[in-house]
Amino acid sequence: MNFELNKDLLFLKEMIRDLMLEKVAARAAEIDATDEFPWDIKEVLAEHEIMAMPFAEEYGGTGGKLLPLVIALEEIAKVSGSVAMILGAQCFGSAAISMAGTENQKQRFLPGLASGEKLCAFALTEPNAGSDPAAIQSTAVCQGDKYVLNGTKRLITQGNLADVLTVFAKTVNEKSGDQKLSCFLVEKGTPGLNVRSLEEKIGLKGSPAAELFFDNMQVPAENLVGAEGAGLSIAVQVLEKMLPVAAAQGLGLAQGALDFAVQYARDRVQFGQPIGKFQAIQLMLADMEIKTQAARYLVYVAADKYDRKAHDRSKFLAMAKALATDVAVEVSDRAIQVLGGYGYIKDYPVERMYRDAKIQQMFISTNEIQRIVIARDLLGRDF
């Protein structure tokens, strides 16, 4: 049994670490301060084929496996949670096309997304539907060769920037009258697609979250993903695949906060010695390391299980997401404590890491939902 990454993945990790240190580290605080989407950094990710990582080779990607992707996300999030979200949103917004799109849809959309020239977004959440996608109120009515969509979406990462959005809305089956979710690809500039406002978030600044309003938005029928009424199944599959994406971002944030806290503990002198000499600090750092390493192994194992289609992957994906993102909040909180008052001001990066970490506990789906998935696996679905 070998729990080490193979040489290919270690090499990839090192390459992305070097790239982040050279091109992103110096911009991280500025992105947070300005809250502006970093187009220059998006270009760096595109140029180095990091944006291509979620995609299969036949569509211009590097393979689309989750394990290399989580390693990349971890290294990016160590430096900037907001920049990691650029790649995270690209995974999230394109997954439905990769998983359930027609060949024509894949050929139309995936190469532009893999090259990083185009951006995408996943538009599921609504004012009254988050963890419960069945409660979605947006509607799509078939009219000949098009669907007409009406409704509102909230908290849509990059919803205002995306060239293509994966949108979920309810359709009505003409024969049975049943209302079911369907999935549509909506291109930027579609009449009736309106960005109402951008949410004011406490963290992940520079990664916009938009409120969208569909006003008789006409979508060609050829942009329906999968069968009409298959939207819930597609959404569930996408959400499951995206759990390690959130987990890896949490892992990177935890490691970034830990690294900074360790360095600070070496350098900061109080009572005549570096604070790292005090056991109170040592114990905190040790706990941070224990939790971060445990999260790392679970995240890697979960991603690997997904890639291998292991039968028990669902529970591992849920556990990895819940653990890594909880650890991100806990470790970045402890990092602030290690820094004392300096941890609470923006001169140091750990408060940013804490703000960026918090959303990961809710991102994709909440950690409470993950625990329900895990409990059901333990007790049985019908318990």
Partner 1 sequence: MQIMVCLKQILDPELPPRDFRLEQEEMTPVTEGVPMVMNSFDQNALEVALKLRENWVGATITAVTVGPESAEDVLRKALAVKVDQAVRVALEQDSRLSGGVVAALLAGAVKKLVPDLVICGRQAGDWDGSQVGLILAEELGWVSANLVTGVVPGSGGLVLRRELEEGYEMIEGTPPLVITVTNHESNVLRIAKVKDAMAAMRKKITLLEPAGLGIDLRGDAIELVGLEIPAKEADCELVEGEDGWEKAENLVKRLIDLKVL
- The verdict on 146 binding partner 1 (CB under 8 A) reads no
Instruction: Say whether residue 4 binds partner 1 (CB under 8 A).
Output: no
52 binds partner 1 per the rule CB under 8 A: yes
Part of the chain binding partner 1 (CB under 8 A), chosen from 43-51, 77-85, 182-190, 238-246? 43-51
Q: Give me the least distance between CB of 132 and partner 1, in Å please.
A: 37
Tokens 């990582």 sit on residue: 53
- The Cα–Cα gap between 223 and 220 comes to 6
Q: Please count the other Cβ atoms lying within 10 Å of the Cβ belonging to residue 160.
A: 19
Among 28, 50, 66, 123, binds partner 1 (CB under 8 A): 50
Tell me if 303 contacts partner 1 by CB under 8 A: no
> Can residue 140 be called a binding residue for partner 1 (CB under 8 A)?
no
Distance CA 76, CA 89 (A): 14
* DSSP secondary structure of 228-285: TT-HHHHHHHHHHHHHHHHHHHHHHHHHHHHHHHHHHHHH-EETTEEGGGSHHHHHHH
| # binding residues, partner 1 (CB under 8 A) | 18
Of 48, 180, 201, 268, the one binding partner 1 (CB under 8 A) is 48
Provide the minimum distance between the beta carbon of 185 and partner 1 in the complex, in angstroms, as a whole number. 26
Q: Is 15 one of the binding residues for partner 1 (CB under 8 A)?
A: yes
Choice between 68 and 159, CB closer to partner 1: 68
Question: Which residue's CB is nearer to partner 1, number 18 or number 215?
Answer: 18
Question: What does the CA dihedral 251, 252, 257, 259 come to, rounded to 10 degrees?
Answer: 110
Residue 47 engages partner 1 in binding (rule: CB under 8 A): yes
Asked if 83 and 148 count as a contact pair (C-beta separation under 8 A), the reply is no
Tokens of 218: 């006409």
Nearest Cα to 370, choosing from 326, 335, 311?
Answer: 326
In the complex, the residues that contact partner 1 under the rule CB under 8 A are: 7-8, 11-12, 15, 18-19, 22, 47-50, 52-53, 62-63, 68, 72
